[in-house]
Amino acid sequence: MHETNIKKYNATILLADDDEDIRLALALLLMAAGYQTIEASNAKEVIIQTNRQKPDLILLDMNFSRDTTSGQEGLDILSQLKQSNIPIILMTAWGSIELAVNGLKQGACDFIEKPWNKEKLLNSILQQLNFSKIKQEHQGYRQLLSSDQSQSHKIWICQSQAMKNIEQLVTQIAPTDANVLILGENGTGKSQLAERIHQLSARQKHPLIAVNMAAIPDNLFESELFGHQKGAFTDAKQNRIGRFQLADQGTLFFDEIGSLPITLQPKLLRVLETGQYEVLGSSQTQVSNVRLISATNADLSKQVSEGAFRQDLLYRLNTLVITLPPLRERLNDIQPLAENFIDLFSIKYRKSNLKLTPEAINKLKQHNWPGNIRELGHTMERAVLLSMTNEINQEQLLLDSADNDHSSIQLQPLEQAERQLIEKAMTTTSGQVIEAAKLLDISRNALYRRLEKFGIKYES
């Protein structure tokens, strides 16, 4: 089984070791397993061969000169190869845990001691090639996604004083590795801000992996975050790479962090405190190198006092807190945001030169925007669709009816009304969460959270 898996990769492996006999033994072992090998006998050659031949994986000796044992040479090369994104497995005859952890922190993906165990070495190579392939696919997908989005509406608008202050803070903190907690009502731009922080950070070339905590079933949390090995539990038919591994050297964005079950909070806390975790079904400790950004519109302090969220975890998450103000407190952002949405939807609906009338602009500024920027987006999409001329007037915003007509509304406890609206939206859309969220003008995440809260069944 191992053989067939290996042969799927026509991979080239760079053997970086000063000892010719060791390179020969490794080359024979790896060639028999179906790999191609190239060799480097000193640090300079490692860099040259890496740049020229672009190997799929590097087996790197930590000590190139026979009389050294510090591992410093290996660490130096590692830091030079960091940007290459090639998986590197460290090898040393004088391995110490400290050296291994240092190497892993510098970006190596695994550590093998000499003399090596053949099976262990081949397994590690296969696993790292697997991870690397999945990561490349994921990055390719993200690049596609972000180039798609950059052509559309990923413009960051901050004209109001409140947002200018936030922008200043963001440019200051983005380049650091500090964990950030973003607070704010639904639709205020928490996800987009997380993306912006990542883009302004030194990690921007590495992945930004977003995880919606509200959408993960409790029994799958651990495997989602840390990955699992085939057979780790009944349904684990294949190895699965976890989000921590996918986000390696990049940023992890935990949306709706308040939905993380209390039973799993110690596991997250451990990674944040020690940088270590285990893939489910494996006893090998992995070292995490991610920057964590989390977001919520829940009151985490209240959850702490109710015993639903750990105080010590909150302290780890909220090194820096950014609170996005609701749109009603960002009056100077409303017009540029609306115009940005008009540009965006004009492309989608093939309209051109659409302008808001002064009355329409006033109307937008007077509205309360409970659904914030997302609601503004939906309003502008509708208005662009309804426009018959080059002008969008206040009637086409359709804000009046929703705001002022209270005659048909029955007074009842707010939670009950919320539940009824959600049930109605789910029935109307035959249980399609994305469509139901659109009808309710809230994000999919916000709807998932409410479905969980009210115990309303949905297809995940």
Ligand X SMILES: Nc1ncnc2c1ncn2[C@@H]1O[C@H](COP(=O)(O)OP(=O)(O)OP(=O)(O)O)[C@@H](O)[C@H]1O
Binding site for ligand X (CB under 6 A): 153, 155-158, 184, 186-192, 297, 337, 340, 373-374, 377, 443, 445-446
Residue 92 vs 191, nearer CB to ligand X: 191
Residue 277 vs 345, nearer CB to ligand X: 345
Cα–Cα distance, 183 to 301 (Å, whole number): 12
**Pairing between β-strand 251-255 and β-strand 276-278 as defined by DSSP bridges:** unpaired
CB 130, min distance to ligand X, A: 32
Name the residue whose CB lies closest to ligand X.
189
CB 118, min distance to ligand X, A: 49
Tell me if residue 212 falls in helix, strand or coil.
strand
CB 345, min distance to ligand X, A: 11
Residue 190 vs 198, nearer CB to ligand X: 190
CB 377, min distance to ligand X, A: 5
Buried b (16+ CB within 10 A) or exposed e, 351-378: eeebebeeebbebbeebebebbbbbbbb
Residue 87 vs 184, nearer CB to ligand X: 184
CB 185, min distance to ligand X, A: 7
Residue 71 vs 187, nearer CB to ligand X: 187
Are the CB atoms for 338 and 375 separated by under 8 Å? Answer: no
Residue 337 vs 392, nearer CB to ligand X: 337
Alpha helices in 237-280 (DSSP H): 243-246, 265-274
**Pairing between β-strand 276-278 and β-strand 285-287 as defined by DSSP bridges:** antiparallel
Q: Tell me the one-letter amino acid at 102.
A: N
Q: What is the DSSP letter of 280?
A: B
CB 435, min distance to ligand X, A: 16
In 329-372, at which residue ranges do the beta strands (DSSP E only) sit? 355-356
Are the CB atoms for 147 and 318 separated by under 8 Å? Answer: no
Are the CB atoms for 276 and 288 separated by under 8 Å? Answer: yes
